[in-house]
């Protein structure tokens, strides 16, 4: 399995001794449960991309960014055109935060600044029975996918009704594109993720995205919260820090995305 990690923000990688995009590599390899996954980085700000011959052989992870998905920057418009092409070829894409938003924008949805403000810290949100069943179907590959790990429990195989993930965003998807299904909702953000079923192969899913950051560690999120000290009120920042728990659904989401790419 080959995963292309699309680099969308060079600044974020310099905030910690551990490389920012290293978080995505570890997430894509299910924290060494799947050492055979081949991960390559492409800096889409510089319009780096796999070769024309190999581009449809990858699964794609579109990372978070400080950029706006609705920006008219040249590289963002270029990336949107690439997303449309991948979708037309039924190539699998996972979008995270900015990645989630730019998928929506590229496919005819809408992203805008949230008048309710920031969603910051650790956030719990419910998912519908329909979404739970889709996740369960995707995770049904678990027993044959995780050869080196113990057999997943029913909980690990997708039967979740609530997800708990780390979050930092102000923009949000306000209009879900036609042909995609939104999932998850909070008082601040109505669409916490997107799913798209293949039009060519029913039962196969080609897009999963998260508004939150399932790849983040709590230490890295705290670094980003500190970066906002001159932007947001101290009390709000402290409440956001206090919301962060010892555990999140990071590993579960990593396994889900691995099974999604393996489908």
**pLDDT tens track for 200-216:** 999 999 999 999 999 98
| Proportion of the chain above pLDDT 90, given as a percent | 73
pTM of the model: 0.91
pLDDT at 15: 62
Residue 130 neighbours by CB distance under 10 Å: 11
Residue 185 has pLDDT above 70, yes or no: yes
Mean pLDDT for all residues in the chain: 89
Residue 145 has pLDDT above 70, yes or no: no
pLDDT at 141: 61
The full set of domain ranges for the chain reads 2-262
Element (H, E) at 135: helix 129-139
pLDDT at 40: 92
Residue 173 has pLDDT above 90, yes or no: yes
Compute φ and ψ for 100, nearest 5 degrees. Answer: -60, -45
What's the pLDDT tens digit per position in 15-40? 654 566 678 778 777 876 766 888 99
- What are the tokens at 11? 């600044």
pLDDT at 23: 80
The answer for 156, left when phi > 0, alpha when psi is -120 to 50, beta otherwise, is: alpha
Angle between helices 218-227 and 234-242 (to 10 degrees): 180
CATH architecture of 2-262: 3-Layer(aba) Sandwich (3.40)
- What are the tokens at 171? 């923009």
Q: How far is CA 248 from CA 98, 122, 212, 242, 251, in A?
A: 20, 8, 12, 14, 8
pLDDT at 148: 45
For the chain, the residue count is 263
Residue 241 has pLDDT above 50, yes or no: yes
Residue 154 neighbours by CB distance under 10 Å: 10
Q: Which long-range contacts (CB under 8 A, 24 or more apart) does 192-199 make?
A: 192/125, 192/163, 193/100, 194/95, 194/100, 194/103, 194/104, 195/131, 195/134, 196/87, 198/90, 199/90
- What are the tokens at 227? 């970066």
Residue 150 has pLDDT above 80, yes or no: no
Residue 205 neighbours by CB distance under 10 Å: 18
Dist. CA 111–CA 37, nearest whole Å: 32
What's the pLDDT tens digit per position in 35-94? 688 899 999 999 999 999 999 999 999 999 999 999 999 999 999 999 999 999 999 999
| Residues 6+ positions from 203 with CB-CB distance below 8 Å | 137, 197
């Amino acid at each position: 399995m080959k995963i292309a990690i699309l680099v969308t923000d060079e600044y974020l990688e310099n905030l910690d001794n551990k490389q920012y995009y290293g978080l995505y590599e570890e997430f894509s390899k299910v924290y060494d449960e799947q050492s055979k996954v081949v991960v390559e980085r492409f800096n889409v700000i510089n319009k780096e991309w796999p070769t024309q011959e190999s581009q449809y052989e990858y699964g794609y992870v579109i990372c978070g960014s400080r950029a706006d998905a609705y920006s008219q920057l040249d590289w963002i418009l270029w990336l949107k055109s690439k997303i449309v092409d991948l979708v037309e070829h039924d190539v699998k894409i996972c979008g995270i935060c900015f990645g989630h938003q730019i998928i929506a924008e590229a496919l005819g949805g809408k992203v805008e600044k949230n008048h309710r403000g920031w969603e910051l810290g650790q956030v719990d949100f419910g998912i519908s029975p329909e979404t739970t069943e889709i996740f369960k179907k995707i995770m049904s590959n678990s027993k044959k996918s995780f050869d080196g790990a113990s057999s997943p429990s029913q909980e690990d195989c997708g039967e979740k009704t609530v997800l708990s993930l780390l979050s930092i965003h102000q923009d949000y998807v306000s209009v879900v594109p036609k042909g995609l299904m939104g999932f998850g909702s909070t008082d601040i953000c109505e669409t916490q993720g997107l799913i798209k079923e293949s039009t060519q192969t029913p039962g196969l899913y080609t897009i999963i995205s998260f508004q939150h950051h399932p790849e983040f560690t709590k230490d890295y999120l705290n670094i980003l919260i500190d970066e906002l000290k001159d932007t947001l009120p101290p009390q709000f920042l402290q409440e956001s820090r206090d919301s962060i728990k010892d555990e999140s659904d990071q590993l579960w989401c990593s396994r889900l995305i691995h099974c999604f790419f393996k489908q």
